[in-house]
Amino acid sequence: MFIRVSPASPRHPDHAAPGRLRRLILTAAPPLLLLVVLMAFTASYGGHLPDRVQVGDWGIDTKGAATWQGWVSQPLFGVMMWSEALLVISFLRYWRLPQVQRGLVAGSFFISLSSTVSGALWLVELAGAPGAVARPAWHLAVEIVAAAAATALGWVAAGPLPSAPVATAAPPPHAPTMALGPWQRAMFVTSAWSARGLLVAVVMAGLTAWAVLHGLGGWQGVALLALLTIFEAAQARTRLQIDSSGVTVRIPWMPALRRTLPYPRIRFAEARRQAPAGRYRLDDSEAGWGIVAGKGPVLALSLTDDRWFVYSMREAETAAALVNGWLSRQRQETA
């Protein structure tokens, strides 16, 4: 596999450059450093482990020789190395998306620290064990607390994201614009259903239930599946609102979750028969983000980071005119 990262052209400046090296190091380092910690634990406790052991646990299945050679060949070590490769490749894939890179840092801390704590607890529990071992319930509580703390630490350690570029020019003459007086206030609200999102959420929910019933992998894998299920379900129905603060996308059944585009980050709005080429979901991609519910007209916002926000709706022309109306008035007042 070859991944080529092209330098940004003058027409498309690299807005993600500030802090990127820091985020890359924090993404790549935890699996490697914590793997060394696990190996040090194994070297210390390997001589005290039984020749064979049956472990009843909620983590990675370990049935075999619990010796130095046996533990080195356990799935846990392979998982850490696969995680390292996946994280680094994902970082390179999203080279110009600092929001995604911060999430990768948090994910790296989550995977690495939770796996290390789990492995260390195993080794301590197995040292001197005469045979079959059932893991104490407090192990799970410690792992969950460690995983939550690691995720928060990774999010903070990634540092502040680069400041988004700010647009100051009024929308172009060809863009539909609703004239707004100095004291006029206008709001636009709509919602969108995505059959594809609903179908994917149902499939993910089935996989999550199957993993829980069959004890597939550790609790970390089940937790990630559950989070992915919630994320897919969130895209089945969304609500868009345009007001004086900007353009906001909400999830009706989780109102606390929202993404807002303030007007300084929008160059102009337009209505299109279909979305620009690319992938548009609630998470970021190289093309942008948004909700595309099949074919049909979309509201398309040109963003200052050279991407798009798109949202499927019948009244795309009206919504675009209102956004441009807010942009025109605010930028005339600023001028």
Q: Which residue has the tokens 């109102």?
A: 255
Please give the share of the chain, as a percent, with pLDDT higher than 90.
31
Per-residue pLDDT tens over the stretch 285-317:
889 999 988 788 999 999 998 999 999 999 999
Please give the distance of CA 7 from its chain centroid, rounded to a whole number: 24
**Domain limit, last residue, from 108, 142, 157:** 157
What is residue 3's predicted lDDT score, i.e. its pLDDT?
40
Residue 130 lies in a domain: yes
Q: Are residues 24 and 153 in the same domain?
A: yes
* Segment 237-290, tens digit of pLDDT: 899 999 989 999 998 888 778 899 999 999 999 999 999 988 898 888 889 999
- Which CATH number do you get for residue 283? 2.30.29.30
The token pair at 261 is: 């585009």
pLDDT at position 334? 67
Is 216 a member of any domain?
A: no
Contact 309, 303 (CB under 8 A): yes
- Which residue, 142, 157, 172, sits at the end of a domain? 157
Q: Which residue has the higher pLDDT, 64 or 325?
A: 325
Q: Is residue 66 part of a domain?
A: yes
Give 87's Cβ-side CA count (13 Å radius). 28
Do 32 and 150 belong together in one domain? yes
Q: How far is CA 187 from CA 81, 234, 238, 270, 319, in A?
A: 50, 23, 17, 17, 9
Chosen domain end from 110, 139, 157: 157
Supply the range of the domain harboring residue 134.
20-157
Residue 207 forms part of a structural domain: no
Q: What is the pLDDT of residue 199?
A: 85
How confident is the model at residue 23, as a pLDDT?
95
Closest CA to 288 of 303, 274, 299: 303
State the average pLDDT for the chain.
81
Query: For the chain, how many structural domains are there in total?
Result: 2
Greater pLDDT, 37 or 2: 37
